[in-house]
Amino acid sequence: MTASSVTSQVSPPEPPDVDDHDDDHGGWWSDSPGWAKAVVAVGAVLILLLVGGLAGAVIGQRTAPTYAPAAGSVDVGFLQDMSVHHRQAIQMAVWERSNTTDPALRQLAFDIESSQTQQLGMMQGWLQLWEQRGETAPGQYMAWMGMPMPSMPGMATEADLQRLRASTGQPLDVEFLQLMLRHHEGGLHMMESAAAQASVPAVRTLATSMVTTQTAESQTMTQLLAARGAAPLPMN
Amino acid sequence: MAGARKRTSSAGRSAPKNRQVPWLLIGAIVVVLALIGGIGFFLFDRSAQISPWRPSQDNRDPSLAIPGIVLQAYEGQHHVTPEQRVAYDRTPPFGGPHDGYWAACNGQVYPQPVRNENMVHSLEHGAVWIAYDPARVQGAALDTLTAKVQGQNQMMMSPYPGLEQPISLQSWGHQLAVPDATDPRIDQFISSLRGNPNGVFPEVGASCDALGPGAFDPANPPPFEGQPYPRDALPMNYQGTSGAGGMGGAG
């Protein structure tokens, strides 16, 4: 009844639906200056944008599986396989660095050892973040390329490694160069596949840099072998 | 009672209305201003965190935006022996054939000039090399540069006699000459290129450590030899280089 009495007196400027609730403050909105209305309107728009943005961010986070690739994906499969591949290269390079008498071969072996140790750390770190195991399950090598294999191309056998460790002097250098050259060339196809197909950009970038580095190192090792009168091994 | 108040106000419309404090309006304005301020700070803070000089998938080589940057493409992995020299096409060189032994680039501050052929190999490993003219960069300026290098992996610094500008920065395929040690482009260059994973230098993840005497000894590096290059210096077309022969054939 209060409201109606107000309405009767001030009815021309005030619509009836407003004064039903705002009788205490009168027409604060309609009485407000234009700039204040503008500020409040901008605020309303901002709140709407914020709510929309937050909702979008939450939905976006839910639908970004590329940053946690699943087991069996190209990313996980490549990192697991290449971890095994790199570990053996590091093993052979460490042996050569410690036992060669040729300073140039020592430098080459150290370069391979240190580069691949760094790359192994990156690969293991990503696998750990994605809660995947650090290496391929036995007999499942290259399954991510559509053909599970008991081993990977270029890998040295236990007999190869024993022959390497039993050698000294130039025969050791030749063994090392032959095994490492075959190792590099055997891994190339996997690296190229991952460089082209991995879903995570950082994995593609790493695989690309492996291709660049190892292609160049393979050329160097081919020349070093030739200079020692030895031929490369056939691919296994 | 509200009606009574209202009635009074409608009686003298302008004067008594001033007594009425519009708390709701004031509150709304305060909330909106706080919201604008908060969003503004958030955006500013975020833009400050996302450095335009940090390599990313969308910005693979941020150094391309640095005013004055000089670019030149080189092939990696072409080696010369410790006895050979290369007739480099740039001063200081920033790519091309190089010695099989890389110079230590694990934060090394060389007090003396170092042989070009070793330094170029370190660039292949992703190092940034700060070269300075010892006649024009001394004291506080030298301290400023030293602080950017010492203890920093993939950084190295050496005096370089006869530079055109007092300071020259090298990364594989990239060079930037600056007039003084406080130039903001120095940090932009380092942030953009040092250890950049996107293939702007040939050997990502390669080491900057040296193997010491018999290979490259940071305490006793091969001495710098300036221009003119000797008649038998190897050309920049990579002929006569490579690891063949085994003497300079490291990676």
**Residues B41, B147 within the same domain:** no
Reported for B241-244, long-range contacts at CB under 8 A and 24+ positions apart, including other chains, are: B241/B78, B241/B79, B241/B80, B241/B86, B241/B97, B242/A219, B242/A220, B242/A223, B242/B78, B242/B79, B243/A104, B243/A108, B243/A220, B243/A223, B243/A224, B243/B77, B243/B79, B243/B100, B244/A223, B244/A224, B244/A226, B244/A227
Within a domain: A76:
yes
Q: How confident is the model at residue A5 (pLDDT cuts 50, 70, 90)?
A: very low
Residue A84 has pLDDT above 50, yes or no: yes
**Residues A53, A100 within the same domain:** no
Q: Which domain holds residue A184?
A: 68-227
Question: Average pLDDT of A85-113?
Answer: 97
Cβ–Cβ below 8 Å for A114 and B10? no
CA distance A131 to chain B (A): 24
Within a domain: A232:
no
Chain B interface test: which of A97, A173, A209 (most B C-beta within 10 Å): A209
Q: Give the span between the Cα atoms of B164 and B84, in whole angstroms.
A: 26
**Residues A110, A24 within the same domain:** no
Report pLDDT for B242: 65
Q: Looking at this protein, which amino acid is placed at residue A195?
A: A
**Residues B38, B64 within the same domain:** no
Q: What is the pLDDT of residues B69-128, one digit of tens each?
A: 999 999 998 999 999 999 999 999 999 999 999 999 999 999 999 999 999 999 999 999
Lowest model confidence (mean pLDDT) among A16-25, B135-144, B195-204: A16-25
Domain closes at, from A62, A84, A106? A62
Looking at per-residue confidence, does B118 or B13 come out higher?
B118
**Residues B40, B66 within the same domain:** no
Within a domain: B92:
yes
Contact yes or no for A230/A174 (Cβ under 8 A): yes
Q: Locate tokens 């009815």: which residue?
A: A11
- Smallest Cβ–Cβ distance between B249 and the set A104, A110, A213 belongs to A104
Within a domain: B103:
yes
Within a domain: A236:
no
**Residues A86, A197 within the same domain:** yes
Within a domain: B40:
yes
Domain count, chain A: 2
Judging contacts by C-beta atoms under 8 Å, the chain B residues touching residue A119 are: 205
**Residues A156, A73 within the same domain:** yes
Report pLDDT for A12: 55
Q: Which residues pair with B157 in a beta bridge?
A: B109, B130
- Residue B222's region, left for phi above 0, alpha for psi from -120 to 50, else beta, is beta
- Smallest Cβ–Cβ distance between B249 and the set A39, A46, A223 belongs to A223
Report pLDDT for B48: 66
Within a domain: B98:
yes
CATH of the domain at A167: 1.20.1260.10
Average pLDDT, chain A: 87
**Residues B140, B29 within the same domain:** no
Would you call A158 helix, strand, or coil by DSSP?
helix
Report pLDDT for A81: 97
Strand ranges for chain B from DSSP E: 70-71, 79-80, 98-99, 106-109, 128-132, 155-159, 167-171, 174-178
**Residues A57, A93 within the same domain:** no
Residue B3 has pLDDT above 50, yes or no: no
Instruction: List the structure tokens of B23.
Output: 């708390």
CA distance A73 to chain B (A): 21
**Residues B122, B42 within the same domain:** no
Residue B2 has pLDDT above 50, yes or no: no
- Smallest Cβ–Cβ distance between B251 and the set A3, A29, A111 belongs to A111
* A-B contacts (CB, under 8 Å): 162
Report pLDDT for B178: 98
Residue B251 has pLDDT above 80, yes or no: no
Lowest model confidence (mean pLDDT) among A40-49, B54-63, B78-87, B128-137: A40-49
Within a domain: B211:
yes
Within a domain: A216:
yes
**Residues A53, A88 within the same domain:** no
**Residues B182, B62 within the same domain:** yes
Search chain B and give the residue with CA nearest A119. Answer: B205
Within a domain: B115:
yes
Domain count, chain B: 2
**Residues B31, B144 within the same domain:** no
* Nearest Cα to Cα of residue B98 among B205, B220, B233, B245: B233
Q: Which domain holds residue B46?
A: 20-50
The fraction of chain B above a pLDDT of 90, given in percent, is: 71
* Nearest Cα to Cα of residue A97 among B152, B76, B209: B209
Q: What is the pLDDT of residues A107-129, one digit of tens each?
A: 999 999 999 999 999 999 999 99
**Residues A25, A78 within the same domain:** no
Question: Average pLDDT of A187-191?
Answer: 97
Average pLDDT, chain B: 88
**Residues B194, B156 within the same domain:** yes
**Residues A80, A13 within the same domain:** no
**Residues B158, B100 within the same domain:** yes
Judging contacts by C-beta atoms under 8 Å, the chain A residues touching residue B79 are: 220
Within a domain: B75:
yes
3-state DSSP helix/strand/coil % of chain A, to nearest 5? 70, 0, 25
**Residues A85, A39 within the same domain:** no
**Residues A162, A78 within the same domain:** yes
Residue B14 has pLDDT above 70, yes or no: no
Report pLDDT for A26: 57
Report pLDDT for A3: 45
Residue A18 has pLDDT above 50, yes or no: no
Report pLDDT for B150: 95
Domain closes at, from A24, A44, A62? A62
Within a domain: A182:
yes
Residue A150 has pLDDT above 60, yes or no: yes
**Residues A133, A32 within the same domain:** no
Within a domain: A234:
no
**Residues A80, A197 within the same domain:** yes
Other residues' Cβ atoms within 10 Å of the Cβ of residue B31: 14
